[in-house]
Structure 1
């Protein structure tokens, strides 16, 4: 899938199910950059690992966090209801591999759970720091971040 496809088929429908205040160009850039960093939008199941969905969520990590965090739990339930998925860790985890809208919505909610505002567009370092804080990658690859973030920034085309 192209980044345009991801925006049109996953991110836009997910953001439409969430409060309007969660929709912004910086949010879209972060969602694209993190999806590129995690899966290159090529792998819905982590190669050699337990994570699933383009944004690579683990059941006991990101899924649990979004379902339980005070800032995101209510929005997660609404999103699950709209996607016909029970708001449980196991049901969401199973659905993320095949439901790109749900995956994009959970990715946006995971970003929302962070107390800091989204980084300014083009602030590679702050964007990287947010990604590392929220996704907590086991094997981070900072050497690929700037290039992938640049692709995301160009796609949103401000």
Structure 2
């Protein structure tokens, strides 16, 4: 899928399941950039690893964290109900590989758990810092981030004004 298709098929429906205040150009840019960074928005199963979904969540990490964090828990439970997934780490983890809407919603909820506001569109270094804080990648690749972020901004087109 291209980025327009990801936005239409996964991100927009995921954001529609969440409170309106979670939907913004900053959120979409972050979701696209992180998806590109983590999986290229191609791989729903991590190559050589345990993570699942385009945003590469691990069962005991991001999935469990979103389900338990006080800022995301109630929203995660509502998303699970809407997607017909039991609100357990094992069930969500299994579904992420096949349910892009669930994966996008959990990715947005993980960003929601960070106490800082989302970086303004175009703040590439701040966006990288947020990604590091929330995803805590084992092998971060800063050298790819700028291109992923630029591609994400391009995908939003006129919606973002930098």
Length-normalised TM-score, structure 1: 0.99
CA distance in 1 between counterparts of 2:41 and 2:125 reads 22
Q: Which residue of 2 aligns with 1:94?
A: 94
Q: Which residue of 2 aligns with 1:61?
A: 61
CA distance in 1 between counterparts of 2:42 and 2:69 reads 29
Shift of 1:38: 0.2
Q: Give deviations 1:100-151, integer Å, cap 9, x for gaps.
A: 0000000000000000000011001000000000000000000000011000
Unaligned runs of 5+ in 2: none
Name the Cα RMSD after superposition.
Answer: 0.4
CA distance in 1 between counterparts of 2:20 and 2:70 reads 18
Task: Output aligned runs, 1:7-156, within 5 Å.
Answer: 7-156=7-156
Q: Give deviations 1:25-68, integer Å, cap 9, x for gaps.
A: 00000000000000001100000000000000000000000000
Length-normalised TM-score, structure 2: 0.97
CA distance in 1 between counterparts of 2:156 and 2:117 reads 19
How many residues get paired? 158
CA distance in 1 between counterparts of 2:155 and 2:33 reads 10
Structure 1 outlier segments of 4+, above 6 Å: none
CA distance in 2 between counterparts of 1:86 and 1:16 reads 20
